[in-house]
Every structure is written in C-alpha cells, then in structure tokens.
Amino acid sequence: MRLAEGIVIEKEKTFGTLKFSALRREVKIVDEEGNVTEQVKERTYDLKSKNQGRMIQVSIPASAGKKNFDYNDEVELINPVADTVATATYMGADVDWYIKAEDILLKQKKPLTEKQPTK
C-alpha cells in the first residue's frame, strides 16, 4: 500500500502540547554534478511532545524560514504529515517514520479575560 500524501495527523490528539527545543539539522541541495551546495532544502527541528512523552523531529521546507524560537516556547505545526522510508535488507526491510509539516509557528497565547466585578 502506498499513501502518496502520507498520513494526515490529528495534531492535538497525536502530539498534545508541543514545545520548541532546537534546530537538529539542515539538508542542503545537491546539484546536477553531485556537489552539495550551500542552499538549504529543509530544516529539521526537535520538539517536545507532551502526548508522545518524548522529543520528536519535524522537518519543514527552507521556504518556511529558519525558526529561532526560545527554548520551551509553545509551538504548533501547520499541516503535519507522517510518512515512511523503507530500506531493503537481507531479511526484508527496515522502515523509518518521519514527520513533515508546512511550517512551525509560535502558538498564540489566549488572552486572559478580565473578570467583571461582582455586586
């Protein structure tokens, strides 16, 4: 079975609260001659996921810009998708899961509502 668009993720149930940790790596573009260029193709970030109980890695395209949030800032993923990469082995295949998103944004904090004085 092949899911060309990956598996769409229900963000709140899957990840819960996400907190920014750090940039993990940048993937550079390789030119026609096989040389690695200085142009970034995508960036992968470490995020702490409350519902997963651990750090997850999420890749976003370079066009989304470099994210320089503070450590533990609450963030949200825009259109996250889970997908796999399989590598053939002697006994079958090894499968690695990865998460991609269109962007990672700082989560907007809900404004505190003022309580009306009681009479």
Task: List pLDDT tens digits, range 26-42.
Answer: 999 999 999 999 999 99
Sheet strand arrangement including 36-49: 7-8, 81-89, 92-100, 54-61, 36-49, 18-30, 74-78, 103-106
Within a domain: residue 74?
yes
Q: Binning pLDDT at 50, 70 and 90, where does residue 1 land?
A: low
Q: How many CA atoms lie within 13 A of 1 on its CB side?
A: 5
Within a domain: residue 100?
yes
Q: How many domains are there within the chain?
A: 1
Domain that holds residue 29: 7-106
pTM, two decimals, is 0.81
CATH number at residue 74: 2.40.50.390
Handedness of CA 7, 8, 13, 17 (dihedral sign): positive
| pLDDT per residue as tens digits for the range 3-25 | 667 788 888 999 999 999 999 99
